[in-house]
Every structure is written in C-alpha cells, then in structure tokens.
Amino acid sequence: MTTILKPQPGIMNIALYVSGESKLAGKADVLKLSANENPYGPSAHAREAFARAAGDLHRYPATDHAPLRAAIAEVHGLDAERIICGVGSDEVLQFITQCYAGPGDEVITTRHGFSMYPILAHAAGATPVEVDETDRTVDVDAILAGVTARTRIVFIANPANPTGTMVAQDDLRRLAEGVPPSVILVLDGAYAEFAEGYDGGAGLVDQFPNVIMTRTFSKIYGLGGLRIGWGYAQREVIDVLSRVRQPFNLSNAQMDAAEAAARDVRYTDWCRRENAKWRDWLRNGLVQAGVGCDVSHTNFLLARFDSPAEADVVDAALRHAGILVRKVAGYKLPECLRITVGDEDACRRILDVIARHKGVR
C-alpha cells in the first residue's frame, strides 16, 4: 500500500536558501567576502564568555534569556520585557510569520528584498507579494499601494540586503503611519549598527503597536556561527510570539557570548569605524574604476557592472585570485556582485582585481 504524504500548502513553493560560498577548489587560502561577516571576528570578551560556558554544557539553559535581554536593553535603551531572543533574527521573523499570517493572507516584500521573506510566507501558507523598488531602494509609496484587505505583514530590511541602501527616517515614519493597524510592519535591522545614528526602528516600535524591529548578533558582533538574534515589539506582540518560541532555543554558550558582545560597546564602535573607513575607500575606488556603486549603509557594497556577462567575468577573475563574493542574480540583480567589506588587505586585493579588469591599473 502506497501512502502519499502531502506537505502543508506553500511548502513546495519554497526555493531553498543558498548561503555564500566559503571554499574554492584548488585554493588553500580563500578570501571569503560573500557572507557579510565581520573580518575582525567577535569581541575578545565574547570569546572568553563562550570558552567559560564549556564547563556547563551538561546544564539546560535558562528559558527566559533574562541576562541577555537585560544587556540588550541596557545597551540600546529599551525595555527588556519587550525583547524576544531567537536562533538568529531569522527565527524571530519566523515567529512573526507563523503567528500573524496563514493561508489566504498576503505578505509584502520588495523587488530586491531579502530572500528569506518569501520563504517564510510560503512556510506559513501565505502568499508573498512583491512590490517594486526605486533605484534599488525600498519605495514606501509602492508598498502602501500594494497593501490589500488580505495583507497581514510587510517585510523590509533597513538598511537593505543586498543593495545596502536605506529608507530615510521621514519615509520610514510615513510607512508606519500609512499601513493599516491590522498589518504588521517588520523592520529587519540586521545591518542597523552600521548606519550611524540609526536606532533600527526602535522609536517607531514605541509609537506604533503594529511595528516590530528585529536585530542580529551575526554581523557587526561577529557571532554568525552561533546564530543569535532578537526582536523588539509591544508587550502584547511579544506575548504572542513567545507562545511559539521553543523554551530552550538558545544555549548558555550562545547567550553568554552574546551578552558579552553586546556589553563590549568599545569594540562594537571600533568595528563600525573600521567598516565605514574601508567601505568608503573601496566604494570610491570602484567608482573611479567605472563601476556603479550606491552609497552603502552596511558592511558590504553592491557593485554594478555594465552587463550580467561582465559581472560573470569579474566574478571569475576574483575566484581565480582566491576571492569569493556573492552573485545576486537571484535578487533580480544579474549585473551586480555583492562584496563584503573586509579589512584593509582584503579591500586592496579586491579593488586591484576589479581595477585591472577595467584597465585602470
């Protein structure tokens, strides 16, 4: 007897997420600039906290994440009771979609938006609806025009991945004011720490009960390998999300390392300054070499070439030099390469290859 197992609606519509490459055949020393990792790694305090946690691997972790939430709240000036922690910010985004969208509902994403958003919509049985962007930047008017009676969630990353562009604060407020109260506006702030003076949307969360902010320890804090993220929302929303969170979703090692990283503000500030310095240097070099490159508010640059064919040629040249970047044709940007901002040596190496391709060196 044959049993036909049928997954929930939407599951088979999911295109599997593909992460940035980390290895090149025949290359022992690969420069990985494909995953927007912090080239300097985590804070020494975070490393030490993680090592200390090895002595308690047999112990179950606390289920309330209280010390980590307290550290996040202290550093960012937030209410610890309105913070929820997850396995990367992706898990918090999953909580939101699971709780607030389902079959028959619509979830708005944007043309070049993060690829996890439609995956999460399909996983909940909802329908992802893509709206256009303007010059690779989230278009508030396009989002508002795309809202229907079936819309339940709007996802935007600010600053955005893979474009690096950012919605101005006034436009962000206009978006929060414009979406209906029945629609959740999710401000994905994975790269918020790289944008000087930006609170990630925390102020809007305090003013609008349907706005949720998410953040991660994977980028500026250099803890991508541990998968730790968090969200901030009104108490009523956090109460809903907490009902689907697994009680032991974060280990002691994760929480201890993240708490130490959050409290090491001096190191975070140093990473922000170094990233800004070499991001601007690399962008200027690319522009001078004739490569299109928007101003970035993140730890990566989106290099725009004359055609998809040229992007492929440059990618091949970089791979030959032992350098991995991210092709973003899947984000409807086939003529572009996303380049993580590395340290000085990394930036000089990548600019040398691209400048030589352009015939300016």
CATH of the domain at 208: 3.40.640.10
Q: Answer for the pair 149, 182: CB distance below 8 angstroms, yes or no.
A: no
Confidence of residue 22 (pLDDT cuts 50, 70, 90): low
Closest CA to 234 of 213, 214, 209: 209
Q: Where among 229, 263, 297 does a domain terminate?
A: 263
Domain containing 27: what range? 19-41+266-358
351 with 336, same domain: the answer is yes
Using one digit for the tens of pLDDT, what is the confidence trace for 287-326?
999 999 999 999 999 999 999 999 999 999 999 999 999 9
Q: In what order do the strands lie in the sheet with 229-232?
A: 83-86, 229-232, 211-216, 184-188, 151-157, 106-110, 127-131
**Is residue 13 included in any domain, yes or no?**
no
Q: To 5 degrees, how large is the angle CA 130–CA 131–CA 135?
A: 125
- CA-CA distance, 69 to 91, in Å (whole number)? 16
Total tally of structural domains belonging to the chain: 2
- List the alpha helices (DSSP H) in the chain: 44-52, 66-76, 88-100, 116-123, 140-146, 169-178, 202-207, 235-242, 252-263, 265-288, 308-320, 344-358
Q: Where among 215, 245, 263 does a domain terminate?
A: 263
**Is residue 302 included in any domain, yes or no?**
yes
**Is residue 7 included in any domain, yes or no?**
no
Q: Where among 233, 263, 293 does a domain terminate?
A: 263
Closest CA to 279 of 271, 267, 268, 289: 271
Q: Using N-to-C axis directions, what is the helix angle for 344-358 and 308-320, rounded to 10°?
A: 130
Using one digit for the tens of pLDDT, what is the confidence trace for 228-241?
999 999 999 999 99
Amino acid in the structure at residue 29: D
Q: Answer for the pair 229, 215: CB distance below 8 angstroms, yes or no.
A: yes
341 with 238, same domain: the answer is no
Res 249 pLDDT > 80: yes
Top-confidence residue, 151 or 25: 151
243 with 288, same domain: the answer is no
- Dihedral sign, Cα of residue 273, residue 276, residue 280, residue 286: positive
- CA-CA distance, 95 to 91, in Å (whole number)? 6
- List the alpha helices (DSSP H) in 150-263: 169-178, 202-207, 235-242, 252-263
Count the residues in the chain: 361
Number of neighbours of residue 122 by Cβ within 10 angstroms = 21
303 with 163, same domain: the answer is no
Using one digit for the tens of pLDDT, what is the confidence trace for 156-203?
999 999 999 999 999 999 999 999 999 999 999 999 999 999 999 999
130 with 195, same domain: the answer is yes
Query: Cα separations (Å) of 310 from 18, 204, 304, 314?
Result: 22, 42, 10, 6
Residues 135-156 as b/e (b if ≥16 CB within 10 A, e otherwise) read ebbbbbebbbebbeeebbbbbb
Mean pLDDT, the chain, rounded, equals 95
Confidence of residue 360 (pLDDT cuts 50, 70, 90): confident
- CA-CA distance, 108 to 155, in Å (whole number)? 6
124 with 206, same domain: the answer is yes
**Is residue 6 included in any domain, yes or no?**
no
165 with 176, same domain: the answer is yes
Please spell the DSSP secondary structure of 83-129, one letter per residue: EEEESHHHHHHHHHHHHH--TT-EEEEETT--THHHHHHHHTT-EEE
Confidence of residue 2 (pLDDT cuts 50, 70, 90): low
70 with 154, same domain: the answer is yes
284 with 180, same domain: the answer is no
On the 0-12 / 13-18 / 19+ scale of CB atoms within 10 A, 16 is: exposed
Least confident of 22-26, 191-195, 222-226, 340-344: 22-26
Beta bridge partners of 284: none
**Is residue 57 included in any domain, yes or no?**
yes
Helix (H, G, I), strand (E, B) or coil at 254: helix
User: For strand 151-157 and strand 184-188, is the pairing parallel, antiparallel, or unpaired?
Assistant: parallel
